[in-house]
Amino acid sequence: MDNKNISVVVTTFNGSKYIEKQIDSILKQTVQPQEIIICDDMSTDGTATILKKYEDNKRVKVLVNDAQLGVVRNFKKAASLTQKGNYIAFADQDDIWIPNKLQTLVATLEKIDDGQKPTLVFSDLTIIDKNDLVIAPSFWDKQQMQPQKVNLNRMLFGNIVTGCTMMINHAMKLEFLDMDNYNFLHDEWITLIAYSFGKVNFTNDKLVLYRQHESNVTYAETIPVPNRWSRLKDDIDYALKRKHFLKHQFSLANSFLKKYHNELSNDQLTTIKNFIKLEGRNYLLQRIKRRNAHL
C-alpha cells in the first residue's frame, strides 16, 4: 500500500509527560502515514501547547475539543476526520512505536483485506515502565495469550487485542463510527466485529513499547496477574454474589447481539447466545467455561 493511504489517530488528555516520545516515534516510521490526526480532550497540563510544536508538519493535524468527550468518543472523532479509504492505526499518548510498526501492520492487513468486509490486524507489544525500562518483553507471554487459538467464543470471555496495536480498513472504520454504546472500549467492540462477521489477522512482532505507569488506565492495567490470596478473595466474593463474574462481558455480548443480530451467521448467533445463557448459571460453571475457552 502507498503510504498516502495510512492515517494515524492519536487521542490525548493530560499526556504532557510522554506525548513527545510517542509523536516522534510515529514521525520516524519506516513507512510514513499520510496524516496524523491528534484530538486533545481539553488537557489542563500543557499537552496542547506541546502539540502546537508539531503543527508546522503538514501531515500533523491538531484539534482541541470544545467539550470533553472521553476516550472512545475522542477516538471516534479522530477517526471520522481521516481521509476516506485510508487504513487507520490507533495511538495512545504515552507509548513508543517501533520504527517498522506501520510497515508491518500494512503488510499484514493487505494479505486479507478484500475492500468489503470490516478488517482488523494487531500485534504483540513490549511492556515498559515510566522510565522506558522493559517490564515484560512480550505482553502476550505475560498474559498467557495464544492469538492463533483465538476465536469468537474466546473473545466473548475477554478481549486480548490492545487498541494501540490495531490497524483497521475503511469498512471497519464505518462500523466503528456507527458504535453507539460507550459503556465499552473501542478495541473490544472492533475486535468482536472482526472475529464474527469481519476478518482478522495478526503478527507476532512486538511493535509497541507499551507504557504502564501510575496514571495509566489502559487495557493491561485492568487485567493484572492476581496472586493466590487475591484470587481466593475474588472466588469467595463471586461465589457469594458480592461481585458479579464476567459482568462486563455479558453486557458487551448482549449489546453486540442486539446491534448485529442480522449480520451474524447461525453458528455465531448460537455462540453468543450460549455465552449469554451463562449469566444465570453458577460461578463455578462460569469459571470452567472460561478456562475451557482459553485452552
Give 242-256 pLDDT, tens digit per residue.
Answer: 557 899 999 999 999
* Measured distance CA(154)–CA(192) in Å, rounded: 10
Q: Residue 213 has what pLDDT?
A: 72
The more confidently predicted of residues 53 and 215 is 53
Domain limit, last residue, from 201, 221, 241: 221
Residues 113 and 212 in one domain: yes
Cell numbers standing for residue 70: 472521553
Cell numbers standing for residue 9: 489517530
Look up cell 466474593; give the residue: 237
* Measured distance CA(221)–CA(218) in Å, rounded: 6
Q: Residue 223 has what pLDDT?
A: 43
Give 79-89 pLDDT, tens digit per residue.
Answer: 999 999 999 99
Residues 200 and 238 in one domain: no
Residues 58 and 117 in one domain: yes
Q: Do 155 and 195 form a contact (C-beta atoms < 8 A)?
A: yes
Give 90-108 pLDDT, tens digit per residue.
Answer: 999 999 999 999 999 999 9
Total domains in the chain come to 2
Residues 10 and 82 in one domain: yes
Domain limit, last residue, from 221, 245, 268: 221
Residues 108 and 175 in one domain: yes
Residues 235 and 284 in one domain: yes
Split at pLDDT 50, 70, 90, the class of 282 is confident
Residues 130 and 18 in one domain: yes
Q: Residue 218 has what pLDDT?
A: 46
Q: What's the whole-number average pLDDT of the chain?
A: 91
Q: Residue 181 has what pLDDT?
A: 92
Split at pLDDT 50, 70, 90, the class of 220 is very low
Residues 146 and 53 in one domain: yes
Phi, psi of 123 (to 5 degrees): -140, 175
Residues 167 and 251 in one domain: no
Q: Do 192 and 110 form a contact (C-beta atoms < 8 A)?
A: no
| Position 138 pLDDT exceeds 70 | yes
> If you average pLDDT over residues 209-225, what whole number do you get?
61
Residues 112 and 40 in one domain: yes
Residues 250 and 182 in one domain: no
> If you average pLDDT over residues 269-293, what whole number do you get?
92
Split at pLDDT 50, 70, 90, the class of 284 is confident
Split at pLDDT 50, 70, 90, the class of 238 is low
Q: Residue 221 has what pLDDT?
A: 39
| Position 232 pLDDT exceeds 80 | no
Which of 79-88, 180-189, 197-206, 235-244 has the weakest average pLDDT? 235-244
Which of 174-178, 238-242, 260-264, 279-283 has the weakest average pLDDT? 238-242
Nearest partner of 5 among 93, 156, 118, 109, judged by Cα: 109
Q: Residue 217 has what pLDDT?
A: 47
Split at pLDDT 50, 70, 90, the class of 185 is very high
Nearest partner of 254 among 179, 174, 139, 156, judged by Cα: 156
Q: Residue 219 has what pLDDT?
A: 40
User: How large a percentage of the chain has pLDDT more than 90?
Assistant: 81
Residues 257 and 180 in one domain: no
Domain that holds residue 251: 226-294
Domain limit, last residue, from 221, 248, 263: 221
